[in-house]
């Protein structure tokens, strides 16, 4: 049956999936991320994610951490280009504890100056970690290259210089501007009735004033393909080719998700994996990814390979792309492409944490959540003609940017 989206007393949205399980999951999703930062404060969205746990008007930092961990649960957070999550997994009997704690940090975090300075050192180390991990860093740098000069191109972590400049007042200002209606959703998947959870959320969240604001994000329009080779002291070459793709709201996004999965999704039988790894043994890792944003998207193919074969890997990647552009999939190819994708979606939903995050994003960005039956119908309706049309629309060879890390 359809998921019901409930408006709390202060109009925060609540979405809940009732499941019979000893473990439940609750999260608060904010439609605010790296692209909503001022350029001189790059990394502040991520820094808020770190420091919101450092104490509230009611609790010291260690009490925030222990509140869920003392009963075997956890509390965590993550930041992306457009959203920030705060969430907890816990024994279902501890729902009230989780709701109260998330409301406390969301509305009453104090961001102590001493803790802010200490946490900056932690973030500096996180930045160093990414810089020492080329397979991670290359994804940040290709976005900087593709979205050159646009907020989507900024690294989620920021730089040491920008993080160092962040003050407590900057954090409070960022929250005041972005942690507002209609940019907040509470999402839940667990063993509690919708009515009881609504009552709990109204008690802890719904009594808090949340200002209603409207925010205009800078649209991305000025893409210029660019090819870059960087010489690094790595044991293998890391390469990535990328091009802008469909947004979260484009009707073709489901077709393109299927294409990305067919090319380089999770399976060992993907076209890129078969052509590059299985047949020739040129790479250990080769994958395709599609990240949709609210006004654009990014498609990428990544591979880690021997320093002598990176051009061969790129050529083979474009060869597989060209096959989709030139030849429509046959009946059985379409059948198995759809079936594999649907199977992967169903298996992902077995993770109730994943489901909680998924329905929260749907409620935030689409104001609705599709049932599994509706999702199956959408995927089953995709035709070979649509695959061919979308591949030709997005995969324009000279529109790709490339980034190579090699010796």
Q: Are 305 and 325 in contact (CB under 8 A)?
A: no
Q: What is the pLDDT of residue 299?
A: 98
pLDDT in tens, the chain (407 residues): 568 899 999 999 999 999 999 999 999 999 999 999 999 999 999 999 999 999 999 999 999 999 999 999 999 999 999 999 999 999 999 999 999 999 999 999 999 999 999 999 999 999 999 999 999 999 999 999 999 999 999 999 999 999 999 999 999 999 999 999 899 999 999 999 999 999 999 999 999 988 888 888 999 999 999 999 999 999 999 999 999 999 999 999 999 999 999 999 998 999 999 999 999 999 999 999 999 999 999 999 999 999 999 999 999 999 999 999 999 999 999 999 999 999 999 999 899 999 999 999 999 999 999 888 888 899 999 999 999 999 999 999 999 999 999 99
Which residues have CB under 8 Å from 176's CB, separation 6+? 211
CB atoms within 10 A of CB 393: 14
What is the C-alpha separation between 309 and 282, in angstroms, rounded? 7
For residues 151-167, one letter each, b for 16 or more C-beta atoms within 10 angstroms of the residue's C-beta and e for the rest, the string is: bbbbbbbbeeebbebbe
Please give the sequence-ordered ranges of beta strands (E in DSSP) within 20-71, or none if there are none: 23-30
Q: Are 367 and 39 in contact (CB under 8 A)?
A: no
What is the C-alpha separation between 192 and 256, in angstroms, rounded? 36
Please give the helix or strand (H or E) that residue 205 lies within, else none.
none
CB atoms within 10 A of CB 141: 17
CB atoms within 10 A of CB 86: 21
pTM: 0.94
What is the C-alpha separation between 106 and 275, in angstroms, rounded? 48
What is the C-alpha separation between 282 and 240, in angstroms, rounded? 15
In the numeric block, the tokens 């609504």 are attached to 198
Specify the 3-state DSSP secondary structure of 91: strand
In the numeric block, the tokens 């329905």 are attached to 359
Q: What is the pLDDT of residue 88?
A: 98
Q: What is the pLDDT of residue 2?
A: 61
Phi, psi of 146 (to 5 degrees): -70, -45
Q: What is the pLDDT of residue 1?
A: 53
Q: Are 302 and 139 in contact (CB under 8 A)?
A: yes
Q: Are 197 and 356 in contact (CB under 8 A)?
A: no
Residue 315 token pair: 């050529």
Q: Are 118 and 191 in contact (CB under 8 A)?
A: no
What is the C-alpha separation between 78 and 49, in angstroms, rounded? 7
Q: What is the pLDDT of residue 371?
A: 82
């Amino acid at each position: 049956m359809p998921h019901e989206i409930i408006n709390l007393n202060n109009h925060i949205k609540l979405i809940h999936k009732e499941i019979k399980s000893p473990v439940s999951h609750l999260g608060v999703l904010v439609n605010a991320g790296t692209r909503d930062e001022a350029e001189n404060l790059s990394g502040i969205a991520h820094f808020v994610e770190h420091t919101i746990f450092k104490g509230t008007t009611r609790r010291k930092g260690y009490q925030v951490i222990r509140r869920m961990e003392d009963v075997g649960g956890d509390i965590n957070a993550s930041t992306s280009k457009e959203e920030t999550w705060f969430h907890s997994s816990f024994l279902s009997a501890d729902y009230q504890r989780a709701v109260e704690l998330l409301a406390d940090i969301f509305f009453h975090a104090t961001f102590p100056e001493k803790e802010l300075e200490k946490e900056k050192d932690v973030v500096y180390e996180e930045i160093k970690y990414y810089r020492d991990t080329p397979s991670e860093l290359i994804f940040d740098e290709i976005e900087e290259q593709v979205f050159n000069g646009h907020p989507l191109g900024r690294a989620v972590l920021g730089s040491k210089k920008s993080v160092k400049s962040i003050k407590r007042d900057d954090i409070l200002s960022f929250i005041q501007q972005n942690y507002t209606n209609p940019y907040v959703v509470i999402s839940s998947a667990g063993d509690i009735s919708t009515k009881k959870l609504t009552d709990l959320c109204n008690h802890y969240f719904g009594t808090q004033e949340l200002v209603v604001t409207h925010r205009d994000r800078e649209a991305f329009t000025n893409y210029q393909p660019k090819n870059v080779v960087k010489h690094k002291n790595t044991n293998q070459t890391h390469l990535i080719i990328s091009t802008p793709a469909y947004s979260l709201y484009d009707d073709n996004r489901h077709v393109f998700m299927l294409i990305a999965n067919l090319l380089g999704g999770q399976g060992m039988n993907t076209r890129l994996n078969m052509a590059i790894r299985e047949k020739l043994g040129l790479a250990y890792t080769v994958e395709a990814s599609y990240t949709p944003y609210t006004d654009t998207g990014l498609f990428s193919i990544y591979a880690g390979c021997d320093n002598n074969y990176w051009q061969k890997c790129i050529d083979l990647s474009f060869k597989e792309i060209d096959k989709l552009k030139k030849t429509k999939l046959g009946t059985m190819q379409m059948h198995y492409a759809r079936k594999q994708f649907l199977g992967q979606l169903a298996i992902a939903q077995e993770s109730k944490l994943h489901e909680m995050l998924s329905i929260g994003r749907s409620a935030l960005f689409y104001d609705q959540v599709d049932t599994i039956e509706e999702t199956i119908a959408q995927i089953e309706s995709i035709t070979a003609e649509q695959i061919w049309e979308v591949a030709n629309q997005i995969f324009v060879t000279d529109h790709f940017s490339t980034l190579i890390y090699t010796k």
